[in-house]
Structure 1
Amino acid sequence: MSTSTTPAPPAPVKPGAGAAGPAGDASPAASGPPARRGRMSLLALAGLIGLAALALTHVSQGTAAVDLHTLWQLATGSSSDRTAHEQTAAVVLDSRLPRLAAGLLVGCALGAAGAALQSVSRNMLASPDTLAVNAGAYLAVVTVAAFGISLPALPAGATAFLGGLIAAAVVLGLSRAGAGPIRLVLAGSALTLALSGLSGMLLLLRSQQTTGLFAWGNGSLAQIGMQSIDRLAPLALVAFAGLMLMGRRLDILALGDDGAAVVGVNPRLTRSIAVILAVLLAAVSVAVAGPVGFVGLCAPAAVRLLSTWVPGLVRHRAFIPASALAGVLVVLGADVLLRAVFGAQAGAEVPTGIVTTCFGALVLIVLAQRSRDMGTDSGSTAFARLRSRRAFAVTLVATTAGLLGAVVVATLFGDATLLLGDVGNWLAGRSGRFVSYVLDTRVPRVAAALLAGAALAVAGAVVQAVSRNPLAEPGVLGVVSGAGVGAVAVLTVVPLASFWLIGGSALAGAAAAAALVFGLAARRGLEQNRLVLIGMGVHAGAGAFVSLLIVLTDPYNETKALAWLGGSTYGRTFPELLPVLVALVVALPVLAVMRRELDLIGLDNETPALLGVRLGATRLGLLSLAVLLTAGAVAAVGVIGFVGLVAPHAARALVGRRHTRVLPVSALLGALLVVVSDTVGRTVIAPAQIPVGLLTAVIGAPYFIWLLWRSRREG
């Protein structure tokens, strides 16, 4: 049973109905509407008072002292010092008021967009973030900037709108309406990973043309003048008005497609128009301030909680403006908190979206804790297909041959091309200085890619079996982001830190993130979907903290941290591969022994219990092995995405669901994917290089889209 469906609006009361109870006495319902209207008015008044207080506090914050008395003098023109008056006016009009206006516009747009997207998808976790709207809009803007094109406000908004609309169409088109939050969150998160990989690649390859876009990519309210806001605010107003006019249709749509069609509302058309308007609002927000994270999730969630006290809020003509007001409160509150904690100067440098993303991570964890376990999203019949031993043998031989060929190509090609004879001489210790130098640096890189790919793929197979979801991957447990926090913290504090210090910090961060996720989910026996949602919340919060560390450091460390977060085998040596090698040596024998438990736990909750499998302890043990493998891979090569998603699913489709076959084929396919990506990354633009993690995201995205489309048809 899913808790994600938006509550249906109360049925309209006919004139004269409800005036008396069954016995003719005055019914409580008779005095209900006035009381509810009073609560609605009281809530609106409290929201406006809170908004006014935040706005005054917001304008008074900054590097220059501007208190309330000074603002009053500026508003009334009663200042006796004309020079000071002009300086204050310049600060307020050119910087403070544009930042406040940006906060108002962004909060209103994202709050209303999140409310609309949650309604049309019938999913309380839908938002511009989870539908990849922000990621698509951001990629479109970065792409234009990377080629040196400077666009005015309206064309920039149109570019962001196009990118966001395509991303939303892909996620909604590949997800089944009402299929539950897990599928939508995983689909949107995986597409966001792919789009973010492309954005990161452009940021690294065109660093001069995209200077400052990393901080902007986390959502910054800093503005110079009101030009962008003046041009884009009318678009947001039109989109908001359109959603308000559709309020009655959205109320009817919440009753279900059949019920809506009976009363003459076209569900498909209504959803399409609402999505377009919501994406337009999100695009305006991205064009003004960049992708401010999770406001579209937090604001409607807060309003939905208040609807238990004010039931009228479930109607969309109240729900949408209330979500818009809540969005403004979240954005301005985050910006005020940011500058209060970090100071005025740091507040001008640190993006506001980092704070809102932390809020969103907490909301996601709370929603996960409050929800029920929503069952299995089977996603694909590949779990149930059987394959013959001959098919398994052919697959094993083919993947092994492919991996060996990829290793040979990776060893011979790069910024310098070698021959097999050179490799033979190097192995025999008879090679020249140049060949020795090339292979001494290249072979450890190939080995790092091979071991990390195998570890991530096996970890992904375990996570998919435990969560019983073929769209899950190790990143959803927050382990990768936790490792990123540990490693980037060392990189920013100790720029010349050794590999062992960075790797040890990554391992510690991964372990801390895993302990947090498991601890929060253990209260109800590590239920699969709750575990995934909590992991996504920790992943988002850790990612925001990583962005904070990068933004607060100098440009050199920013590039270094970005390269590490993109996954890189550059400069690896054989001793540095010890963590991932140890993880594989420890985990693989244990998984081989537990292959029966892996098969059973991937079926349902009842069958393992009937056969004597302790579900909670088994899940914890298997997930601990997945954490060990993921942390070892991240410590060795940095953050690499999509391997743990693509390789296990491809293996399962090739050899069936028995893990005695899935695990070795997954390891081979994962190693093959990372070795090929690393080879392409260091050869296609040599001597420059593309981080391997960005390429795996780009390579894995088409397969993932095909996977979602096929599983949607099968579902």
Structure 2
Amino acid sequence: MTTTTPPQHADLEPSGGRSAAGAPAPGESPRRGRVSVGGITGAFLTVIVLGVIVSGVHLTQGTGAVGAGDLWRWATGGDALDETAAVLLASRVPRLLAGLLVGVALGVSGALLQSVARNPLAAPDTLAVNAGAYLTVVAVAVLGLSVPFYLQGTLAFAGGLCAAMLVMALSRGGADGPTRLILAGSAITLALHSLVTMLLVLFEQETMGLFAWGSGSIVQSGTRTLTLALPVLVVGVGAALLLSRRMDLLALGDDAASVLGISVRRARVLSILVAVLLAALSVTVAGPIGFVGLAAPLIARMVARRIPGLGRHLVLLPFAALVGIVVVVGADVALRVLIPSAMTTAVPTGVVTSLLGAALLVWFARRLPDRGVGLDSSGQHGRPRTTSTYAVVAVSLSLALVGAGLAAVLLGDRLILLGDVANWWNDVSGREVTLEMGRRVPRVLAALLAGAALALAGTIVQAVCRNPLAEPGLLGVTSGAGLGAVGAILLVPGIGLWPMSASAVVGALVVTSLVFALAHRGGLSSTRLVLIGVGTQAGVMALIALLIVVTRPWEVNLALTWLAGSTYGRTMEQLVPVAVALLVIIPIAVLLRRELDVVALDEDTPRLLGVPLDRMRLLLLGTAAVLTAAAVVATGVVAFVGLVAPHAARALVGSRHSRVIPVAILLGAILVSGADTLGRWVLAPIQIPAGVGTALLGTPYFIYLLWRSRGRDT
């Protein structure tokens, strides 16, 4: 049965754009002006049945000996009423209700954000809404404040809204395509998570339990929180439905919507406010459950492409809400099937949803055409610089490096004088100075060497991707090395330096090979490479969180120290891997400097010059992975160095890699050393991890790059 309706919104395409009103998009049903009532009813019934099934299975799972038969007897008023009811009401029903609430909130929130941005990758995660809300929750915990539910939700809303507006501004509301949106959201999320990690490390007692909760957990103790959250959910979903007609008209285009009497700016602002409200509500109840706001509406839209009429927002929003329920509750069911029942309260549900969302992001990226909107290579090829300019820059940075190293030695929780350093060098210093220098010098060298390694790795990655906004962290290389190192530390207590280094290298190489293989589809697209790298990074970080809470949850602070990028407690022995990696790979990079120049140009020039492009890319990415892994062994996970240092080097000396390589290495060493020194000195004796410092220094520069290049196509 079909009836005629007004034109509905065009489905979102992988390129980030949309087809003209009335014209079917690729792979979309041509009957855009018709509604299949039977198809819509069938889709709703299917997802409702799936929701009922997973909810029923969910109620049978847990540590208590309550099975399906007990549930049936309890529901029909039979035997074992009191015992069964106690188990259900105290634990399982609140957990299920939390899953239902979170699924609805994130499903509707993600659908609204995708429509506002006209971008299928817009979601509370990719727009940093969850990260902003999570930061406010942790900050409140650090202050030791006991705030009521609605005030906590308001703070989470404010944090999420600020992060979302920043990402939307940097990506022109998603109009610059999915790659730029993902890069902006990932960078802001990374910076916010660095702040969260710093708070978790520095205030271990005040934030106890928030690490696992930070991955998203629907475990509840009673229904009080859910009772308070329900009115907000009803208001948010109701407001979203009231906006559904405006969203349909916005999908026709800004000009068409204005002609039809819609205030485009007001409709977008209201929709973002409602979406952030629902996402903040979800974070307040269950923590930042990853990628549900991406997966649920994306699945709903894929179904809507097959069923005429289901794409209208009045129908799409509740359908996405139901899909969100299936995703959240289904993920929790899968989690409790795979994890021993005794650990199901400790393992966050968001681990499974993050893996699902990462898989969807990778799948979406693989469908992208080889050339798409969203990459900006304008900063990749700096203006030529004279030899004298290069010499001045190189000498200036060398002097700055010496100054940074000297300041790092002198400053810390106690001031050391130059005379003390001279006495220590001559082996005639006092006991206190000797002990302090023995602790401080390895830290200084670790920061310098790791910064140099990450800068060189970033230079290589940006050349291979032909994207000045790429870096090893955004391609999953850093998280792969972190998984290897953290896994070795947690699974093999007391593991030696070289086995741990080997584990980090293997992790980085495996993730790099996986990203390369997934991105290579009839040729290696830079757009696919970046998006798949970001998706892989999200999945690997979820695995790291799972590994921590499953193996040794009482040593979360140890793992967080690595993930925050700290030089604390480093020894000279731990510097050997990164020193060896630099000694081996710097000459290789210098020998391949012309190949790097050619690879960074385009797809055709290397082949015309006889350069085996794919083989060269694989070799270069392999060297970047080894450098990143060695740096992780020395300092843990340090972000943004691989982005800022090579980009700044090109701005200073041009794009020739014979000049970029040494300048980037100097800049990277200065950046990490400076961040580590400030972290040890500013709030002494409190120590801020170096990775947090580089994130705080690198994020403004990254924001500047995105803002400057808005609206540019490749």
TM value normalised by structure 2: 0.93
- Looking at structure 2, the residues matched to 203 and 186 of structure 1 have their Cα atoms a distance apart, in angstroms, of 25
Write the deviation string for residues 245-265 of structure 1: whole angstroms up to 9, x where unpaired.
Answer: 222222222232223223222
Segment of structure 1 superposing worse, 624-633 or 250-259:
250-259
Q: Choose from 344, 348, 369 the match for 1:347.
A: 344
Residue 370 of structure 1 corresponds to: 367
Q: Choose from 252, 255, 265 the match for 2:262.
A: 265
Write the deviation string for residues 577-596 of structure 1: whole angstroms up to 9, x where unpaired.
Answer: 22212221222222222222
Q: How far has the Cα of 1:380 moved from its partner?
A: 4.3
The answer to whether the 8 A contact 2:509-2:622 is kept is no
Q: How far has the Cα of 1:621 moved from its partner?
A: 2.1
Distance 1:425 1:31, change over 3 A: closer
Q: Please give the secondary structure, in 2, of the residue aligned with 1:469.
A: coil
Residue 64 of structure 2 corresponds to: 64
Q: What percent identity do the matched residue pairs reach?
A: 52
Distance 1:689 1:431, change over 3 A: same
Residue 306 of structure 2 corresponds to: 309
1:131-280 aligned at under 5 Å gives the runs 131-176=127-172, 177-280=174-277
- Looking at structure 1, the residues matched to 509 and 354 of structure 2 have their Cα atoms a distance apart, in angstroms, of 22
Q: 1:509 is aligned with what amino acid?
A: G
Residue 3 of structure 2 corresponds to: none
Residue 562 of structure 1 corresponds to: 560
Write the deviation string for residues 238-288 of structure 1: whole angstroms up to 9, x where unpaired.
Answer: 222222222222222223222322322232222211111111110010000
Residue 278 of structure 2 corresponds to: 281
- Looking at structure 2, the residues matched to 592 and 621 of structure 1 have their Cα atoms a distance apart, in angstroms, of 14
Q: How far has the Cα of 1:109 moved from its partner?
A: 0.9
Q: Please give the secondary structure, in 1, of the residue aligned with 2:272.
A: helix
Segment of structure 1 superposing worse, 582-591 or 181-190:
582-591
- Looking at structure 2, the residues matched to 638 and 230 of structure 1 have their Cα atoms a distance apart, in angstroms, of 42
Residue 76 of structure 1 corresponds to: 76
Q: Please give the secondary structure, in 2, of the residue aligned with 1:396.
A: helix
1:390-405 aligned at under 5 Å gives the runs 390-405=388-403
- Looking at structure 2, the residues matched to 325 and 507 of structure 1 have their Cα atoms a distance apart, in angstroms, of 42
Residue 25 of structure 1 corresponds to: none
Write the deviation string for residues 213-233 of structure 1: whole angstroms up to 9, x where unpaired.
Answer: 111110000111112111122
Residue 614 of structure 1 corresponds to: 612
- Looking at structure 2, the residues matched to 507 and 608 of structure 1 have their Cα atoms a distance apart, in angstroms, of 29
Q: Please give the secondary structure, in 1, of the residue aligned with 2:265.
A: helix
Q: 2:57 is aligned with what amino acid?
A: T
Residue 587 of structure 1 corresponds to: 585
The answer to whether the 8 A contact 2:132-2:156 is kept is yes
Q: How far has the Cα of 1:431 moved from its partner?
A: 3.0
The answer to whether the 8 A contact 2:505-2:629 is kept is yes
Q: Choose from 120, 128, 132 the match for 2:124.
A: 128
Residue 21 of structure 1 corresponds to: none
Write the deviation string for residues 340-378 of structure 1: whole angstroms up to 9, x where unpaired.
Answer: 111322111100001100111111111112221234621
The answer to whether the 8 A contact 2:105-2:321 is kept is yes
- Looking at structure 1, the residues matched to 149 and 491 of structure 2 have their Cα atoms a distance apart, in angstroms, of 38
Distance 1:373 1:541, change over 3 A: same
The answer to whether the 8 A contact 2:365-2:532 is kept is yes
1:619-698 aligned at under 5 Å gives the runs 619-698=617-696
Residue 330 of structure 1 corresponds to: 327
Residue 49 of structure 2 corresponds to: 49
Q: How far has the Cα of 1:397 moved from its partner?
A: 2.1
The answer to whether the 8 A contact 1:249-1:265 is kept is yes
Segment of structure 1 superposing worse, 285-294 or 38-47:
38-47
Residue 489 of structure 1 corresponds to: 487
The answer to whether the 8 A contact 1:448-1:577 is kept is yes
Distance 1:9 1:73, change over 3 A: farther
Segment of structure 1 superposing worse, 486-495 or 2-11:
2-11
- Looking at structure 2, the residues matched to 252 and 31 of structure 1 have their Cα atoms a distance apart, in angstroms, of 14
Q: How far has the Cα of 1:555 moved from its partner?
A: 4.8
- Determine if the alignment matches structure 1 residue 5 to structure 2 residue 5: no
The answer to whether the 8 A contact 1:601-1:615 is kept is yes
Residue 19 of structure 1 corresponds to: none
Distance 1:664 1:311, change over 3 A: farther
Distance 1:692 1:442, change over 3 A: same
Residue 113 of structure 1 corresponds to: 109
The answer to whether the 8 A contact 2:34-2:308 is kept is no
- Looking at structure 2, the residues matched to 490 and 384 of structure 1 have their Cα atoms a distance apart, in angstroms, of 41
Write the deviation string for residues 413-464 of structure 1: whole angstroms up to 9, x where unpaired.
Answer: 2233222222223333333333332222221211111010011011112212
- Looking at structure 2, the residues matched to 675 and 32 of structure 1 have their Cα atoms a distance apart, in angstroms, of 61
TM value normalised by structure 1: 0.93
- Looking at structure 1, the residues matched to 83 and 405 of structure 2 have their Cα atoms a distance apart, in angstroms, of 65
- Looking at structure 2, the residues matched to 556 and 236 of structure 1 have their Cα atoms a distance apart, in angstroms, of 35
Q: How far has the Cα of 1:714 moved from its partner?
A: 6.8
Q: How far has the Cα of 1:606 moved from its partner?
A: 2.8
Q: How far has the Cα of 1:30 moved from its partner?
A: 10
> In angstroms, what is the RMSD of aligned CA positions?
2.3
Q: 2:16 is aligned with what amino acid?
A: T
The answer to whether the 8 A contact 2:449-2:669 is kept is yes
- Looking at structure 1, the residues matched to 223 and 277 of structure 2 have their Cα atoms a distance apart, in angstroms, of 20
- Looking at structure 2, the residues matched to 685 and 712 of structure 1 have their Cα atoms a distance apart, in angstroms, of 37
Could you list the runs of 5+ residues in structure 1 that have no partner in the other structure? 14-27
Q: Choose from 699, 702, 705 the match for 1:701.
A: 699
Write the deviation string for residues 51-79 of structure 1: whole angstroms up to 9, x where unpaired.
Answer: 11111111121111222332233333333
Write the deviation string for residues 100-142 of structure 1: whole angstroms up to 9, x where unpaired.
Answer: 1110110111111111111111211111111111000000111
Residue 409 of structure 2 corresponds to: 411
Q: 1:184 is aligned with what amino acid?
A: L
The answer to whether the 8 A contact 1:111-1:323 is kept is yes
Q: 2:129 is aligned with what amino acid?
A: V
Q: How far has the Cα of 1:631 moved from its partner?
A: 1.3
Segment of structure 1 superposing worse, 302-311 or 343-352:
302-311
The answer to whether the 8 A contact 2:394-2:663 is kept is yes
Distance 1:242 1:12, change over 3 A: farther
Aligned length: 696
Q: 1:397 is aligned with what amino acid?
A: V
Distance 1:9 1:302, change over 3 A: farther
Q: 2:105 is aligned with what amino acid?
A: A
Q: Please give the secondary structure, in 1, of the residue aligned with 2:344.
A: helix
Distance 1:389 1:374, change over 3 A: same
Q: 2:350 is aligned with what amino acid?
A: G
Q: Please give the secondary structure, in 2, of the residue aligned with 1:219.
A: coil
Q: Please give the secondary structure, in 2, of the residue aligned with 1:188.
A: helix
Segment of structure 1 superposing worse, 60-69 or 558-567:
60-69
- Looking at structure 1, the residues matched to 17 and 103 of structure 2 have their Cα atoms a distance apart, in angstroms, of 21
Residue 24 of structure 1 corresponds to: none
Segment of structure 1 superposing worse, 261-270 or 512-521:
261-270
Write the deviation string for residues 541-589 of structure 1: whole angstroms up to 9, x where unpaired.
Answer: 1100110111124454211111111112223222322221222122222
- Looking at structure 2, the residues matched to 422 and 217 of structure 1 have their Cα atoms a distance apart, in angstroms, of 45
The answer to whether the 8 A contact 1:379-1:711 is kept is no
- Looking at structure 2, the residues matched to 240 and 211 of structure 1 have their Cα atoms a distance apart, in angstroms, of 33
